Amino acid sequence: MKILDGKKVSNDIKEEIAVEVSQMKERGEKVPHLAAVLVGNDGASLTYVGSKVRSCEKIGFESTLIHLPEDTSEESLLSKVEELNENPEIDGYIVQLPLPKHIDEQKVLMAVDPDKDVDGFHPVNFGKMALDMEAFIPATPFGIMEILKRYKVDTEGKHVVVIGRSHIVGRPISILMSQKGEAANCTVTLTHSRTKDIKELTLQADIIVSALGVPKFLKADMVKEGTVIIDVGITRVPDDSKPKGYYITGDVDFEAVSPKASFITPVPGGVGPMTIAMLLKNTLLARARHRS
């Protein structure tokens, strides 16, 4: 069993980007500038956005955090999005999800300029991705593809079972892994809450990508020997004995499943750090596209 060390790989990617940024500075060029919009005070979102901004600082990007109150109206959020679209200083930005219930998430994502949509959530980017055209790929599936590539995991002709059909992870990773190319050329089965017998399918999988958000959902009796396991779940489980009052766990019962796996991503330290690295990569790409 080999650990797919997302923390290490994401640090490698960040170092590679930092080198490019310092070369940009030497040439007197503008460095990439990422903005993040956060509405409200959701604990996990505050952590993620804080981590994205700190990573920008570390690698030499400009960053701007726009923190709006929970009761921000849809109209004023849309006008903030419009401002970001028009601001030539900003190369890319994200609107952190989930948004408060009174705001129509789809309407907001549709308002983002696809050329600045470094989350890859706009239908133009999603459509281009599905059609094998150049596009911003959502950071989490992009990170999964990258970690598989860097560890040279053989995906050619393999059967991938994806668990979860979210727009952010399950749906896009099922498209990407079925496409032609490195870390791809797979046969994909996309399972979800209405799938009749998930275990019957996971037992046939060479690679399992679990993006469900149910702690320890994937048990040892659901996987065959030698399976590659990608755990996208990050759930905060309340626990008063922990310093933060919770602990983080994935979708996979790691202790029981890992001895059967050929490769496995841990939680934390697997897919999570990769997501941030790929968001930075998308922002670097956005800067390059705006320059040309």
Binding residues for NADP(+): 164-166, 234
119 is an active site residue: yes
Rounded Cα distance between 178 and 184, Å, is 6
Q: Check binding of 125 to ligand GUN (CB under 6 A).
A: no
Q: Check binding of 209 to ligand GUN (CB under 6 A).
A: no
Q: Check binding of 96 to ligand GUN (CB under 6 A).
A: yes
Q: How far is CA 13 from CA 72, 94, 268, 270, in A?
A: 36, 20, 18, 14
Nearest approach, Cβ of residue 68 and ligand GUN (Å): 14
Nearest approach, Cβ of residue 235 and ligand GUN (Å): 13
Q: Do residues 210 and 164 lie in contact, with contact meaning Cβ atoms separated by under 8 Å?
A: yes
Rounded Cα distance between 41 and 63, Å, is 19
Residue selected from 119, 146, 231, 251 as contacting ligand GUN according to rule CB under 6 A? 119
Burial-class residue 34 by CB neighbours within 10 Å (0-12, 13-18, 19+). buried
- DSSP 8-class letter at 252: B
Sole window of 91-99, 154-162, 208-216, 233-241 interacting with ligand GUN (rule: CB under 6 A): 91-99
Residue selected from 18, 66, 68, 97 as contacting ligand GUN according to rule CB under 6 A? 97
User: Which residues 6+ apart lie within 8 Å of 57 measured at CB?
Assistant: 63
Q: Check binding of 251 to ligand GUN (CB under 6 A).
A: no
Residue nearest to ligand GUN (CB): 97
User: Which residues 6+ apart lie within 8 Å of 79 measured at CB?
Assistant: none
Radius of gyration of the chain, Cα coordinates, nearest whole angstrom: 19
Among the listed residues 14, 52, 80, 116, the single catalytic one is 52
Helices first, then strands: H and E counts in the chain: 10, 11
Q: Check binding of 146 to ligand GUN (CB under 6 A).
A: no
196 is an active site residue: no
Nearest approach, Cβ of residue 86 and ligand GUN (Å): 20
Strand ranges for 58-165 from DSSP E:
62-68, 92-95, 159-163
Residue selected from 34, 163, 168, 264 as contacting ligand GUN according to rule CB under 6 A? 168
Among the listed residues 119, 231, 251, 253, the single catalytic one is 119
Q: Check binding of 210 to ligand GUN (CB under 6 A).
A: no
Sole window of 59-67, 73-81, 88-96, 190-198 interacting with ligand GUN (rule: CB under 6 A): 88-96
Nearest approach, Cβ of residue 219 and ligand GUN (Å): 25
Which run of H or of E encompasses 36?
Answer: strand 33-39
Rounded Cα distance between 6 and 205, Å, is 22
| Residues flagged as binding site | 164-166, 234
The residue with tokens 């992870």 is: 169
Sole window of 54-62, 95-103, 217-225, 236-244 interacting with ligand GUN (rule: CB under 6 A): 95-103
Catalytic annotation, residues: 52, 96, 119
Binding interface with ligand GUN (CB under 6 A): 94-97, 119, 139-140, 168, 275
